[in-house]
Structures are given as structure tokens and as C-alpha cells.
Structure 1
Amino acid sequence: MQKTALFLTSALLLAALQTFAQEPAKYLSSEPAENKNMKPEETEYYTPVPPVVTPGKDCGEAPSDAIVLFDGKNLNNWVSSKDGGPAGWTVSDGAMTTKTGTGPIHTKQSFGDCQLHVEWRTPNPPKGTGQDRGNSGIFLQSQYELQVLDSYHASTYVDGQAGSIYKDSPPLVNACRPPGVWQTYDIFYTAPRFNEDGSVKSPAYETVLQNGVLIQNHVDIKGQTLYVGKHFYKKHGDLPLELQDHNHPVSYRNIWIRKL
């Protein structure tokens, strides 16, 4: 099962990386005439050589070029989004857990295009219904929310359930595990590009695996996350990763990121 998940993750990452090419690929509808006289080496090249990256021992372990944002020991890489002071969440047994009233936290570093791995867990026994049930969120560039919610045998509006790009794009499937069980998000994110006048040159894109299952497939994000109203963009550069405090004791662990 781990080998299958690793193969799928690698294939999706390769597909995501193709979006960063400077020139769009050009495809021919029929075989070019010059193919008849070409040699194999004419379509082979040897530089630049891709850098070597040592993968983790399993799909969830950080590879050698990753930035570890939370290793289960402390919140040194995070600050309060309210005032920039120390992050007020609790750390215990290798996990950090939201603390009601402390507000969201964000990374000290800013990021753009990235691969992000996050493990999360909603409380057990579950309490509440709909959006009032194990609610939190992962905000790429502090703007675009990937919903964290207890959606295991629980209903809410589909563009607000776990795995949705909140009020933007529902997940392809519900791949949630029961409350109290650790879950994973593997996220491949392309940041938006803007013109000088602030207009959108290209939107943000997001591909997401939840527990090894594809739930968002290179989806174009409509704009910054809003609870009320249509989403829209404001010009920005690299920004921190933010985790939401939504008054539910949701836990996180093993968070790492790769700049692309």
C-alpha cells in the first residue's frame, strides 16, 4: 500500500511540476515528417541534471530537501497571527493542538509554490454537527483554505466538508477516517501570478491527496477564502502558511514543506 501511495504521489508531483515550465508545451496532431530520419540521440539531453533528493523512509517522512515546520517538539517555527507573538497552541505527545481563544498561527517563513505534507486529527468522541464538528483549516499563503473538518459519516455543505477548498471546490470524494484517527494531506500548490496592475495573470492551483486518495486534481482556486461573498484575488507575493483556530481541539503533527 505504501509503494502504491508513493508511486501516485510521485506521479502527481511530476504533473504539478510541469505547470512551472516557462513555455507552454506544443503538441502535434500527427507525426512530423522529420521523425523518419531522426536518430534516438537527437531527442536525448543530459543537462541540467536534476538534483539528488533522499526520500523519507515512508510516504509521510520528510525528504532531505524539506523544511520541517513542526517536528512534535515545539512551536519555534510559528507565531500568533493575532499579534506576531509566541504561538499559543499546546504541544503534547508529538502533536500540537489548537487552544480555544488563542487564534490562528502562521509560519515565520513565507512560501509560494510548494509541496506540503500535514497530518491532522479531529477530536474523539466527536461533538457537534455540520461545521461545528472538529473544524480547523490550512491556509496556503494565508489566503486559500483547505478545509479540516470531521466529515466521517457527517454532513454539511459539500464545498465546506473536509478536503474542500473552502467555499470554492468540493473534494472529488470523501476520504475521511474516523474522529480520533490521524489523517494526511499531501498538497501540491502553485501560487497565483499577477500583472503589474494587480490583475490575475494566472490563478493559484491545488492538487491534494487525502490519506493517499486524490481529492483535488489541479483545481484552479477562485480567490482568497471568504465565509460570505464571492472569492476574489488581491495581488500578493510569498506569504506564511497559516493554521486556523476554530474553537475545536484539532491536532496537527509532522508538518513539512518543499519549495518548488
Structure 2
Amino acid sequence: MFTDDIERTHELTELESIMMSRFANRFYLNREVDPAIVKGILNSARYAATGANVQPWRVHVTAGNAKERLINAISAAHEASPGDHSSEYRYLPETLPEPFASRLREFGTVFFGSLGIGREDVAARAANTARNCRFFDAPVALIFTIDRRLEKGSWLDLGMFIQNVMLAAKARGLDTCTQEFLSRYHAVIRANLPLGPEELVVCTMAMGYGDPDWAKRRPQMPKLPVEGFASFHGF
């Protein structure tokens, strides 16, 4: 098969190994991250591709007391009235078509199964969701925003910037987890951080030193082989 040919003939570069080892880590050690490391990650990430050099990204980085105040505010809002909060954009359509719906269900089975949480255990699932509000106890929390006046093309650029952040962090021994979930609490975030009125909260990110025990036990999410998503013409 085509994938087998790749594995036989293609020796992974260091960058590719980092790309393939990265995953959304939701368990972190109680270990501070040197702010110089975070600045170094962002310094590298700013070289992300961006159409016409627009550079549409903004990121608010929090740690220490600033992060704790944000966590407390978001957690209080989530506990009191989660239904009153919603994102300023739609991440997925209301009805997810196939094959994407099946992949989403598979994710839930694999992820919650790895935590020992059953499909019908509503309380345990809710408790796990609430961990988002604490940024999974990671020492650094980042909030990514984009100017709401921009169009979809700039959102592509923002995604490439965020991917650069994740890869640069992994290269420095840090793990990350992006969180679309917390975009629904944009008003709470805005009340606790100096966001401009034009800034739309796209997602947040937990960053820190991942728990090595969890890294050994965490499941590998299934990915399609190359022939499952790519077609080649003229080769």
C-alpha cells in the first residue's frame, strides 16, 4: 500500500517526529514554565505563513495570579449558568455530516474510555468538561483572538500560527491543548483581560510540562492513512 511505501522509504526528520508526537495533553505537572521559554516559542511562531503578511493573530498569555483570577471567574460562570454563554462563532455545524460524525463519536469512545468514563456517566463527563475552566491545571494559559473585521482567509493564518506555537512548545519539551470550549466565555475573559472591542476570542490553550505517566497511558487517536485523504495526479 502507499502508506507502507512511505514508511519503508521515508526517514522522519526531527520536525516530523515532533509533529507526530504532539497531542492534546489534558494532564500537567505542577511545574512552572520560565516566561523566557514562552516568549521564545512565540518568537518562533510569529514566522507562520500569513497571506499578504497581514499577521492577524493576537495572544494574551497568563500565569500566576492573573491566570488564577481568570480561572476563578470562568469556573464561577460555568458552575452558575453555563447555558447563558456561547461562542461568537460556530466551530462545527449543528448537524455534522458523515464521515465526520462517525469520527467525532470514535473520539468520544477512545478518549472517555481511556479515562474510564462510560457513555452514560453524565456526572463524570461533566466533571471532566469542567477541567477546561482550569486549563487542565497547566501553569500557562493562552487566549488567541482575531480582529472580528477580518475574513476566513485570516482565520487560516491564525490556525497556522497556533500550530506553530504547539510545535515550538513540543520541541522545547512542553505540551499543549487547544480549547475551543472556552471561547463561549469570551465575555468573562474580556472582563478579566484587556481585550480590545475588535478582538474575537477564537480559542484558548493550556501549556506546561505534561504528566509523563499520562503520556504513557494516553490513547493514540486514529488517523487516516495518506491514501484516505489525498489523491495524486501526474505521478
| Fold in common (TM above 0.5) | no
**TM-score normalised over the length of structure 2:** 0.26
Larger Rg: 1
TM-score, normalization by structure 1: 0.24
| Structure holding more strand per residue | 1
Q: When you count helix as a share of all residues, which structure comes out higher?
A: 2
